[in-house]
Structure 1
Amino acid sequence: MRTRTTAIAALFVALPALSVLGPTDAHAQAPAAAATPSAADVAEAKKKFEAGSNLFKTGKFEKAIEEFRASYAKVNSPNSHLYVARCLREMGKLVDAYLEFEKVAAEAQTAGEKYAQTGETAKVERDELNTKLTLVSVDVTTPESGARLTIGGVEVPQDRWGKPFPAMPGTVDIRLESGAKPAASQSLTTAAGESKTVSIGFASPKTGGGDGSGDGSGDGGSGGETGSKGMSGMRIGAFAAGGLGVAGFVTFAVFGSMSNATYDDLKATCGGPCPADRQGDVDKGKMQQTVANVGLIVGAVGVAAGATLFVLSLKKDKKPEAAHTELVVGPAHLGVRGTF
């Protein structure tokens, strides 16, 4: 157990003084100044503070915090408030303790010079928690009246938006809510002692997604048109069909050449009808010619289909002329002719 000694006597000196000292300038400007505690309230506050101190020293923090809160309810002393924050820390409620130490520091600053040391102690003990917490600054890009921001499930006051706010290390969920718009959310992965800054905002009507940048992360998603980038399916089909057509023409050329070579050999060696022992070569020549013919058909169909698909895949806002393709076969050439 780690404790710090803030003299209990300081409370005893400070509490009676509240009944005789006039309000400070800050208090005088407040709409309604807190009522001066009665002697009975001061005595009860002392009693509760002493009980809380004894419980705190023995490690009974759950019961101690009840006594300190009861003391603070009687007399709003930053000293009892400081021990409320310390109890939260010792109970493992580090985020609550951090925020409570901040409140003590702010309270002590306006409570008079006698509480200056209490305020400084609260700042030191708050900063010591930085190594055990992560600090997240959230910039709300679409602030709206009535919007609610939470970090790690803890609501963040609007005057703390964009400023470091404590959260437990690990996965930190950030959520921005408003009754008028869909919530925006994102998650961060953080480590102890780390500080991160992210942005979040409500969805734009044009995109339909929340601004979850950072990192997020996060990202609330962004809408917009899709398919404007990359190759269309029809264009891919055009190239595939064209490739198949080219392969068919290559097959036609190769097997046609082999068939011609076989025919020339049989013509030279047989001189006429070939004998039965050359029937295998005759059949081979027929097979080569059949494969060549099939390659020719596949090539013609593939190239024609590819050309047609390519024309149809052009931009929709351009009205192309009707595509026309035809196979051209001549005595010494083979090809495809068409208009795009």
Structure 2
Amino acid sequence: MLAKCLRRCAFVVTVLATAPAFSAEPPDRATESAQELARAKAHEGLKLYGADRWQEAFEAFQEADRLYHAPTLVLYMARCQRKLGKLTDARALYEQVLAEPLPDDAPPAFLDARRDAEVELDAVRAALAPPAAAAPPPAAPAPAGADRGGGSLLPAGLAFGLGAVGLGVGAVTGILSLSRVSDLKAQCDGRRCPAALQGEADAATTLGHVSTASFLVGAASAAAGVVLLVLRPGGDPAPDAAGAARRAPRGVAWSAGVGIGRIELQATF
């Protein structure tokens, strides 16, 4: 490979002895001494290039091109810059080779240099292109039960409300019943009471029953509220562990009833 490069560069410098120079402001013909110096610098640069001494090779090619310009020398300058990691400078030199006009009778080495520069420039441009935006990371799977519907708190709220009303009514009616019983005892002689107080006695008894029933209803409703708070009727079932498609939520019908001393809670699936 190195011998091939040496032959090509020597051929190029030799050809330039009989062809117009390509420098920006060349003389009509390069002097014989300039040609010899350029040839020597080109050989030196190729040896350094083959020894992986890129910076020294670049300087040798640059000096040779200053003495006698040739596209092949610029091509090797670009290659040195590319090896040194100076891709922006290498790109500019490759583009210089491609932009340089060639005469109709240009040496084959110049045409080869242009073709090589075109191929190598594509690789340099690709290396300089900004990296494509990274794809966003996949969304983390939702934790088990995250899609599960929370269900309604309304039934529990109603049950707690009914329990509060029951306990409140029980407390008030209980106080009234005790107050009337106390008044009746004050008007009776031991266990014997006047017949006129029978109505008051019946009213006190009724208040006592209402108080007892209200306390029972309140307590039962509060217990039902706790159950409904835990179950939350109307929620969606959680998907199974295998990740099967979510089934359509099944209907759940709830009914509750209360009475004196009892509460009924029923669910239909």
Q: TM-score range by the shorter chain?
A: 0.3 to 0.5
Q: How does the TM-score come out when normalised to structure 1?
A: 0.37
- The structure where helix makes up a greater share of residues is 2
- The structure where strand makes up a greater share of residues is 1
Which one has the largest radius of gyration?
2
**Relative CO higher for 1 or 2, CA cutoff 8 Å, sep ≥ 6?**
2
